[in-house]
Amino acid sequence: MQNNSEANINQHSEKTCPRCSGTGVCIECQGSGKITCISCQGKGSVGVSSQGKPIPCRACGGKKTADCSPKCSSCNGTGVISRAYQEEISRKYVKVSGQGRILWAGKAIIITCIAVFLLQRLLPPPLNLIFNSWMAPYSLRSDPGAVWHLLTGALAHGGILHLICNLYCIFILTDELESLIGGKSFLSIFILGAASGGLLSAFFNFRSGIGASGGIYALTAVYFLLNRRFNSGSRRAADGFFFSLVFFLILGFSMQLAGVGFLDNLGHLGGLCFGLLWGGLAKDPQKKS
């Protein structure tokens, strides 16, 4: 029984080498140990001297062939690729995301935000007043116990440009990050990040802002740290998202100091801090339990 279990484990953890199709033989030399010299194309010389004598190829010494390992270089002659080697290659070269997909958690957030935006503007009175009161941002002064407004405020947006910008970020992140960590974690980070940003904003401003930016900042920070810690996903995408949002955060605080601020900078900062905390404590998403 033990031998059968070990065989099953090896069967699932190893794959046939795609380079040699499981033969373990080098496809360049077909196991002969010799290949045609690349420098002279098998001619043994690279030209003719002024005396009319052939100039020997320095790479092969005029032998027309070069030495080559008879074993497949990808599997070292075993015919199979071990699971450890597969994971190593995946970490270094395979980009898990970037396929232009909208996965279920990102799709749920996008559809909900669009629905809320339309209902706030299309519902007739008095339904619009009731609905808008449900979707109002969280307030420590008027209703400190209504903590669900930390989320409902994140689903509401002030205008079409505000909505489009945030939904575009969600669209990118669901492909880049959700495909890496799964929909449940993606949705949890968004909700808790938005709530953290709203709570920080409400604590200092007595009222949270509106929009999904807090959750977006949290997701971006998680993606950035997972990439830096475990080389998960695309380094270019993770760095681009993260440093772009940090730039806008600094710009927002600068505008606020100049007296022209209109962004919920504390909401952004709260989401960013939560994302950094989650990303710092998270385990490698590419390791299967």
pLDDT in tens, the chain (289 residues): 444 444 444 444 577 888 888 888 888 888 888 888 877 888 888 778 778 788 888 878 888 888 888 888 778 888 888 766 666 665 554 444 445 678 999 999 999 999 999 999 999 999 999 999 999 999 988 889 999 999 999 999 999 999 999 999 999 999 889 989 999 999 999 999 999 999 999 999 888 999 999 999 999 999 999 999 998 888 999 999 999 999 999 999 999 999 887 789 999 999 999 999 999 999 999 775 4
Question: Backbone phi, then psi, for 72, in 5-degree steps?
Answer: -60, 130
Note the pLDDT of residue 95: 47
Note the pLDDT of residue 16: 85
Residue 284 DSSP symbol: P
Listed by start position, the domains of the chain span 104-281
Q: String of b and e for 150-159 (b: at least 16 CB within 10 Å)?
A: bbbbbbbbee
Note the pLDDT of residue 154: 95
Query: What's the predicted TM-score (pTM) here?
Result: 0.68
CATH value of 104-281 in 1.50.10.10, 1.10.1660.10, 1.20.1540.10, 1.10.287.70: 1.20.1540.10
Q: Is 104 exposed, middle or buried (0-12, 13-18, 19+ CB in 10 A)?
A: middle
